Amino acid sequence: MIRTCSIWRSLEVVGDTPILLILEAIWWGERRFDKIHARSGLQKALISDRLKKLIEAGIIEKRPYTDRPPRYEYLLTEKGQDLYWTSLMLLRWERKWSSQRNRLKIELTHTPCGSVTDPQPLCGHCREVIHPADVSWEEGPGVGLMSPVYSRRRQRRGAGEDLVERASVFTEVAELMGDRWASLILRSIFTHLRKFDEILKDTAIASNILSERLAWLTEIGVVTAVLYQNNPERFEYWLTKKGLDYYPVLVMLQQWGDKYYASPEGPPLLLFHKTCGRPLEPYVGCSNCLEPILPGDVTFRVSEGRGSKTRRR
């Protein structure tokens, strides 16, 4: 049994690399199957399977755009559009930390203020940038225990290398969020559980899988292992700057999960912004005017090596 967690419930739906690559394609405006296939680089059978799961989860809907022959396009529902802030934080992390920096150059413009923007995670009360050290938490009314269901999904390690030649933005961050176990481990470390046994108890992950994921997170520079005991050697796992910068992704994902997957009693976890002393109501805002960035309020210019394209999102 593990703590009830909106992040975990959200990851059960979107914590999958192919799903994230499909959602990325739709966020780019590719709504038809062949366009999603070209943008994501995924196998057609895999796309069909994940589109079905996204429809079942209420994140996208399937609409016909021609009858003869029948053809369909895939559109985000309100629930899917509510993942927009999570997607912007994924983009923020990828732009800052991806090793594939020469792939795509993206310039976002916030149309209400007309400024090029770097979307930021902000507090809804004081409008200051949210940093992990400035957030405290306590158990919420929906706290409890749940039995985790670890369904088997094929790992897609190396997707970053596979997608370098394609017009994809989410590569390394799709692998990180697409591995639900890794994100659950990071949740534990963000709540100051740093020792192997503490993380093991908090996540209920099999010990061999936990060892492998911690080694992988260390290898990619998200956590660092710090020796705290000799004979036998024992380590604590601390977040690096790269790992700390993943925090806004989890915050926005928790907010989405609280809206769609919290128990009737309320959210299982309450966050507080120590900077202003108020409950944390996070949002993604424009780095210039600090107003919330909403779907439809952004145009983006993308350089793909063949010139720039400007689109409205």
Q: Is the pLDDT of residue 115 over 50?
A: yes
Most confidently modeled range among 80-94, 138-152, 296-310: 80-94
Q: Is the pLDDT of residue 184 over 50?
A: yes
> Which tops the pLDDT comparison, 9 or 79?
79
pLDDT of residue 180: 85
Q: For the segment 3-62, what is each residue's pLDDT rounded down to a tens digit? A: 778 888 899 899 999 999 999 999 888 999 999 999 888 999 999 999 999 999 999 999
pLDDT of residue 172: 86
Provide the pLDDT confidence category of residue 244 given band limits of 50, 70 and 90.
very high
DSSP result, the chain: -EE--HHHHHHHHH-SHHHHHHHHHHHTT--BHHHHHHHH---HHHHHHHHHHHHHTTSEEEEEEETTTTEEEEEE-HHHHTTHHHHHHHHHHHHHH-S-TTS-EEEEEETTTTEEE--EEEETTT-PBP-GGGEEEEE-TT--EE----------TTHHHHTTTTT-S-SHHHHHHH-HHHHHHHHHHHTT--BHHHHHHHH---HHHHHHHHHHHHHTTSEEEEEEETTTTEEEEEE-HHHHTTHHHHHHHHHHHHHHH-BTTB-SEEEEETTTTEE--EEEE-TTT-PBP-TTSEEEEEE-SS-EEEEE-
pLDDT of residue 150: 58
Give me the mean pLDDT over the 115-126 stretch: 97
Q: For the segment 200-243, what is each residue's pLDDT rounded down to a tens digit? A: 988 888 899 999 999 999 999 999 999 998 888 899 999 999 99
pLDDT of residue 262: 84
pTM of the entire structure?
Answer: 0.89
Provide the pLDDT confidence category of residue 99 given band limits of 50, 70 and 90.
confident
What value does the mean pLDDT of the chain take? Answer: 87
